[in-house]
């Protein structure tokens, strides 16, 4: 019956048959997800209408893109896929400005561009754009929707996909839905979680963590107009949406399809873990989150199949894999998920000069569906939280609490062995947590380096981190400025809306005059650029790095040396990393037990051989061993 309804609504659309074929393929996902969370009558019919409308408004060019991507759905899994994340304004002023920098991105090898939040945010403080006031409008200083569509078109022409954030846990308190709720419209009152007194909020608070204990303690904010406590997980002006209301899911299906029709290829599902609330839990990773994602994903697959989803869920390993789909959801939710744990473990290994914890932590990750991939990264616009498990630490004889404390001290430069120059973010005296802000180059020691050798060491650390990020399989994301070894930007303090939030120290404005020196090997920027370019170039020809195959992380007999092992029908690969600033040796068998005769390092184009049964590794050695090229 719903199929007939869809057929009727598609009417004489030239591609009606294809849409219906996609309904036959993905419609069941939609209906199962809806039945699980929104059994109310009429919801499925409404969603069918949104799908038909979304498809009707899709341009011929995007429909052609849908066909291409349906034939090559692994575009984001391939080894030539490289991401870049930037704020449009800080990178290039406006959306048109970004279009003019496409050559720069191409030269770096970028095929996927994530532009940080650019839909109209609330005025004043807006959490870097994560407090959206209007999902149908672009931030005025960046341009208009038409400029976004034009940019998407330019990017597509250059072989680059466009990713935007979809903030779905909350809207700005100034969003029209919240305005209507405050004006007393009950339809919109139901879009939010509002409680007349502290009874429910207090009951929830008993098991809720605090995301911003410093500047937004607690999870609820009193609102005079609502005469109630509004759920605000993040800042007081970010109102959590009530996703148990079917109107909310319908609103978002329409937002998603509108963005897809502007040419957006991937939506980053911001803070997706938080969207479902359940008393007595931390209100993250609830089963309904995945059922809802399945609904959204299926609707997009039917109306705009070239669109994919990237989950931003900064959660424990056993919870994280569910965002790529476990059990009945396998391959039916997000296509990509941030690998927060890998990022944390890289910084942990560099500080400790010890990669054993990484091998334990990585072994906790079950395999992910072969149609999905990790988004791997070394830095992003957020702070680094020490998501390090006590049990993992205990396995190598460490104390988790002490190690997290060590990492915080190390990265704010308060430890004698530190090379880092970062800052503490959201210190929480109740839990002892201290998260870290700082750019990759500053955290890796470029700011504290006094000699040319130390500067090179700092760059080598960043490059080793990026080698892991690029070597892991999945889509590696370069964070704007890392390619030029940009250090912390301390000027953020002079901007009133940023001064309280030191994450802005690693959200600099692109210094294009420095970018112009990128081909000069005598500069830090030039050495970083060349190193990263080399990794990207080598990677793109390594079929064995396709995201469909997993990476196994193995220890060696030296704590500072770790192996990433990839087995793929296209050829095996063993990556060798020395995470320390020491010269170390390891027995030949440590590597050859996995490498089975692979001795050719793709990065240098040379054979590496042991002497007297030992491999010698200099500080931050990175080898990508495969069969000889060609």
Minimum distance from residue 166 beta carbon to ligand GLC (Å): 11
CB-wise, 23 or 177, nearer to ligand GLC? 177
CB-wise, 9 or 169, nearer to ligand GLC? 169
Q: Catalytic residue, from 66, 270, 335, 392: name it.
A: 270
CB-wise, 74 or 382, nearer to ligand GLC? 382
Binding residues for ligand GLC (CB under 6 A): 127-128, 130, 167, 234, 270-271, 312, 381-382
Q: What angle, rounded to 10 degrees, do the helices at 452-471 and 524-540 form? A: 20
CB half-sphere exposure, 196, CA atoms < 13 A: 0
Sign, CA torsion 337/340/343/349: negative
Active site residue 588: no
Q: Catalytic residue, from 312, 409, 572, 581: name it.
A: 312
Point out the residue whose Cβ comes nearest to ligand GLC: 130
How far, in Å, are 174, 190, 614 from residue 178 at the CA level? 6, 10, 66
Distance CA 229, CA 200 (A): 9
Minimum distance from residue 475 beta carbon to ligand GLC (Å): 17
Kindly state the tokens that stand for 87. Answer: 């704020």
CB-wise, 153 or 382, nearer to ligand GLC? 382
CB-wise, 334 or 599, nearer to ligand GLC? 334
| DSSP string covering 613-626 | TEEEE-TT-EEEEE
Distance CA 465, CA 448 (A): 18
Task: Answer whether 220's CB lies under 8 Å from 200's CB.
Answer: no
Active site residue 270: yes
- Beta strand 606-607 with 600-601 is antiparallel
Minimum distance from residue 285 beta carbon to ligand GLC (Å): 14
Three-state DSSP state, 112: strand
Minimum distance from residue 437 beta carbon to ligand GLC (Å): 12
Minimum distance from residue 286 beta carbon to ligand GLC (Å): 17
CB-wise, 312 or 460, nearer to ligand GLC? 312
Minimum distance from residue 211 beta carbon to ligand GLC (Å): 7
Contacts of 563 (CB under 8 A, 6+ apart): 553, 554, 555, 556, 574, 575, 576, 577, 590, 591, 594
| DSSP string covering 450-511 | -SHHHHHHHHHHHHHHHHHHHHSSSEEEEETTGGGT----GGGGGSTTTTT-GGGGGSPPP-
Q: What share of the chain is helix, strand, coil (3-state, %, to 5)?
A: 40, 20, 40
Catalytic residues: 270, 312
């Amino acid at each position: 019956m719903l199929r007939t309804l869809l057929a009727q609504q598609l009417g004489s659309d030239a591609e009606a048959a294809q849409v219906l074929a996609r309904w036959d393929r993905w419609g069941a996902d939609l209906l199962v997800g809806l039945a699980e969370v929104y059994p109310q009558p009429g919801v499925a019919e409404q969603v069918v209408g949104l799908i038909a409308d979304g498809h009707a408004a899709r341009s011929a060019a995007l429909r052609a893109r849908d066909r291409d991507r349906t034939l090559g759905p692994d575009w984001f899994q391939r080894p030539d896929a490289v991401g870049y994340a930037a704020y449009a304004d800080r990178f290039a002023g406006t959306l048109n400005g970004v279009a003019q920098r496409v050559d720069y991105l191409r030269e770096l090898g970028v095929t996927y561009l994530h532009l940080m939040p650019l839909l109209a945010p609330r005025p004043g403080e807006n959490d870097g754009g994560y407090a959206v006031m209007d999902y149908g409008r672009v931030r005025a200083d960046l341009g208009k929707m038409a400029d976004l569509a034009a940019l998407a078109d330019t990017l597509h022409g250059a072989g680059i996909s466009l990713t935007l954030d979809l903030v779905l846990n909350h809207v700005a308190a100034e969003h029209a839905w919240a305005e209507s709720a405050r004006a007393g419209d009950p339809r919109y009152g139901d879009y939010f979680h509002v409680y007349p007194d502290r009874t429910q909020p207090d009951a929830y608070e008993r098991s809720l963590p605090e995301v911003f204990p410093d500047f937004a303690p607690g999870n609820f904010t009193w609102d005079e107009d609502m005469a109630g406590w509004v759920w605000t997980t993040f800042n007081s002006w970010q109102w959590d949406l009530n996703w148990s209301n079917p109107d909310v899911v319908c609103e978002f299906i329409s937002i998603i399809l509108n963005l897809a029709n502007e040419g957006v290829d991937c939506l980053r599902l911001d803070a997706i873990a938080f969207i479902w609330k359940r008393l007595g839990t931390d209100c993250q990773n609830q089963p309904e989150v995945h059922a809802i994602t399945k609904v959204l994903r299926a609707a997009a697959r039917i109306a705009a199949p070239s669109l994919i989803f990237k989950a931003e869920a900064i959660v424990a390993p056993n919870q994280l894999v569910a965002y790529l789909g476990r059990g009945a959801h396998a391959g039916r939710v997000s296509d990509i998920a941030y690998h927060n744990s890998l990022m944390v473990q890289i910084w942990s290994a560099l500080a400790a000069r010890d990669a054993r914890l990484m091998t334990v932590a990585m072994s906790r990750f079950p395999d992910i569906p072969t149609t999905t991939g990790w988004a791997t990264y070394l830095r992003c616009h957020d702070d680094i939280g020490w998501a390090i498990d006590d049990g993992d630490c205990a396995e190598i004889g460490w104390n988790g609490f002490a190690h997290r404390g060590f990492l915080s001290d190390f990265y704010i430069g308060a430890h004698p062995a530190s090379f880092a120059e970062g800052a503490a973010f959201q210190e929480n005296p109740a839990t002892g947590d201290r998260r870290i802000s700082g750019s990759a180059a500053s955290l890796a020691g470029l700011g504290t380096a006094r000699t040319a050798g130390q500067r090179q060491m700092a760059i080598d650390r960043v490059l080793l981190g990026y080698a892991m990020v690029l070597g892991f399989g999945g889509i590696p994301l370069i964070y704007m400025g890392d390619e030029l070894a940009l250090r912390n930007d301390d000027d953020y303090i002079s901007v009133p809306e940023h001064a309280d939030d030191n994450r802005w120290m690693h959200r600099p404005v692109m210094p294009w005059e420095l970018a112009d020196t990128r081909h000069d090997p005598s500069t830090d920027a030039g050495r970083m650029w060349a190193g990263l370019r080399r990794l990207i170039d080598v990677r793109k020809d390594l079929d064995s790095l396709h995201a469909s195959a997993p990476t196994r992380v193995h220890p060696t007999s030296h704590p500072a040396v770790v192996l990433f092992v990839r087995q793929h029908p296209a050829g095996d690969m063993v990556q060798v990393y020395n995470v320390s600033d020491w010269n170390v040796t390891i027995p030949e068998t440590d590597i050859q037990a996995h490498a089975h005769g692979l001795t050719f390092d793709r990065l240098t184009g040379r054979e590496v051989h042991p002497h007297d049964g030992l491999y010698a590794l200099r500080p931050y050695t990175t080898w990508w061993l495969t069969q000889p090229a060609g």
